[in-house]
């Protein structure tokens, strides 16, 4: 491996899912559901394929999906985006993050990201030639949060953008109004762009509300908002995402996107448009069932002896290994499939310095109740 990607090997998700396949272990590692999305959404994709809509969609994405995204942002958050110029369809949130970073930052720039961070952020920042500057989320009162002073100190004259993921993978934190206001004020004061990853926007628990950073004062004009269909409609394999931002920012991101993939697949776009417009009740049921699965997994992990952080959103529970007498999550996660038949993800790979996250592992609860129960039973059998 040469150039800017030197040092980036195989993603932890690929490694752990391969280990699950090789050992027959229950895979609570990579976050994907084991039940299908809404029938209506699946049927639309089949209809689009069988109806002959199989050639390149337009570069910015099918108008029907751009309109559905704009309508969803308006109905859910009161945010107004022009589907013609302010919405761009991408190949999942992953491409959206990469294209946004490649479009908006470059060599010599610094990008702040809350650590632990989703693994593609560091790779995208490296590809751009910029430097990633982590601000660490630490447990406080049972949830992971940041120190506003530390965030402020991380900003330098070179800082160009801040990457914000809420609901947060892997910590499960949903940033509060106060936390987001602190980030927003800093962005406005210091003239920073914000890139927000909101792929878990619907998957929030216990009445916690997801607030888009772009809805804070002064933020709409400087925020690239990213989401995707994978989590909302349980179609992670469809890789259909989008960007909402002011027209000049969208134009910049589109310029990069057109040379990364040109366009994303068409049939999924029609189906996702249908989902955003018509499947809110299904998504609410998904949210409720995930909350119950979260509680089920937490109870199980606590009974095994992990110290568990109750997530406010997402698919994931962060667990501290130290009460079990372990302190290296990577070694633990690599040995666990053989030892107990369960796969998890070591969180240290989401830290700029793995030492800071050494004792955490992540378990996914987007699985059927019996799968969660079977995993817990295996963990109990051999702690
Ligand atoms: N961001 C976060 C925080 C994620 O957990 C994931 C994983 N799905 C993604 C982005 C990638 O989303 P997509 O599959 O739409 O590219
Ligand atoms: N977002 C999922 C996770 O965090 C999977 C992403 C991937 O495989 N790249 O587990």
Confidence category of residue 9, pLDDT binned at 50, 70, 90: confident
Give the position, in ligand 1's atom list, of the atom nearest the Cα of 169.
3
- What percent of the chain is modeled with pLDDT above 90? 98
Ligand 2 in reach of 30 Cβ (< 6 A): yes
Q: Residue 94 Cα, ligand 1 centroid: separation in angstroms?
A: 6
Q: What is the pLDDT of residues 32-64, one digit of tens each?
A: 999 999 999 999 999 999 999 999 999 999 999
Q: What is the pLDDT of residues 309-336, one digit of tens each?
A: 999 999 999 999 999 999 999 999 999 9
Q: What is the mean pLDDT of residues 342-364?
A: 97
Confidence category of residue 187, pLDDT binned at 50, 70, 90: very high
Q: Residue 241 above 90 pLDDT?
A: yes
Confidence category of residue 25, pLDDT binned at 50, 70, 90: very high
CA 84/CA 374 separation, integer angstroms: 48
Strand order in the sheet with 110-115: 87-90, 241-244, 223-228, 193-197, 159-165, 110-115, 131-136
Q: Are 116 and 171 in contact (CB under 8 A)?
A: yes
pLDDT at 316: 98
Q: What is the mean pLDDT of residues 352-366?
A: 97
As annotated, the residues of the chain forming the CATH 3.40.640.10 domain(s) are 39-278
Q: Which CATH class is domain 3-37+281-381?
A: alpha beta
pLDDT at 381: 87
Q: Residue 374 above 60 pLDDT?
A: yes
Residues in the chain: 383
Q: Residue 166 Cα, ligand 1 centroid: separation in angstroms?
A: 12
pLDDT at 74: 98
As annotated, the residues of the chain forming the CATH 3.90.1150.10 domain(s) are 3-37+281-381
pLDDT at 54: 98
Q: What is the mean pLDDT of residues 178-199?
A: 98
Give the position, in ligand 1's atom list, of the atom nearest the Cα of 118.
3
Q: Residue 241 Cα, ligand 1 centroid: separation in angstroms?
A: 9
pLDDT at 264: 95
pLDDT at 131: 98
Ligand 1 in reach of 232 Cβ (< 6 A): no
Give the position, in ligand 2's atom list, of the atom nearest the Cα of 345.
10
What's the predicted TM-score (pTM) here?
0.97
Q: Residue 383 above 70 pLDDT?
A: no
Confidence category of residue 221, pLDDT binned at 50, 70, 90: very high
Fold (CATH) for 39-278: 3.40.640
Q: ipTM of the predicted structure? A: 0.97
Q: What is the mean pLDDT of residues 273-287?
A: 98
Give the position, in ligand 1's atom list, of the atom nearest the Cα of 94.
16
CA distances from 238 to 97, 232, 234, 265, 270 (A): 17, 12, 9, 9, 12
């Amino acid at each position: 491996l040469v150039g800017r990607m030197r040092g980036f090997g195989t993603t932890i998700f690929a490694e752990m899912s391969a280990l699950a396949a090789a050992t027959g272990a229950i895979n609570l590692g990579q976050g994907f559901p084991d039940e299908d999305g809404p029938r209506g959404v699946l049927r639309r994709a089949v209809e689009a394929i069988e109806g002959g809509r199989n050639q390149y969609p337009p570069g910015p994405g099918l108008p029907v999906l751009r309109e559905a995204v704009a309508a969803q942002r308006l109905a859910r958050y009161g945010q107004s985006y022009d589907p013609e110029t302010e919405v761009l369809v991408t190949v999942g949130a992953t491409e959206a993050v990469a294209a946004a970073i490649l479009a908006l930052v470059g060599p010599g720039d610094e990008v702040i990201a809350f650590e632990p961070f989703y693994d593609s952020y560091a790779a995208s920042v490296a590809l751009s030639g910029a430097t990633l500057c982590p601000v660490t989320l630490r447990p406080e009162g049972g949830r992971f949060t940041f120190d506003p002073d530390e965030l402020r100190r991380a900003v330098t004259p070179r800082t160009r953008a801040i990457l914000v993921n809420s609901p947060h993978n892997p910590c499960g934190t949903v940033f509060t109004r106060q936390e987001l206001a602190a980030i927003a004020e800093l962005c406005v004061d210091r003239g920073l762009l914000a890139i927000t990853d909101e792929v878990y926007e619907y998957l929030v628990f216990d009445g916690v509300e997801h607030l888009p950073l772009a809805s804070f004062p002064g933020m709409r004009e400087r925020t690239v908002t990213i989401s995707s269909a994978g989590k909302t409609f349980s179609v992670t394999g469809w890789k259909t995402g989008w960007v909402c931002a002011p027209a000049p920012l969208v134009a910049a991101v589109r310029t990069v996107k057109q040379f990364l993939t040109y366009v994303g697949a068409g049939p999924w776009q029609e189906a996702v448009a249908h989902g955003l417009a018509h499947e809110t009740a299904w998504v609410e049921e998904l949210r409720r069932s995930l909350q119950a699965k979260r509680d089920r997994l937490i109870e199980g992990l606590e009974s095994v002896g992990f110290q568990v952080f109750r997530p406010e959103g997402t698919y994931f529970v962060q667990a501290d290994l130290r009460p079990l007498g372990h302190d290296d999550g990577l070694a633990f996660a690599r040995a666990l499939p053989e030892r107990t038949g369960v796969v998890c993800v070591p969180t240290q790979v989401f830290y700029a310095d793995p030492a800071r996250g050494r004792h955490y592992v992540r378990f996914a609860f987007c699985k059927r109740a019996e799968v969660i129960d079977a995993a817990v039973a295996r963990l109990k059998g051999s702690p």
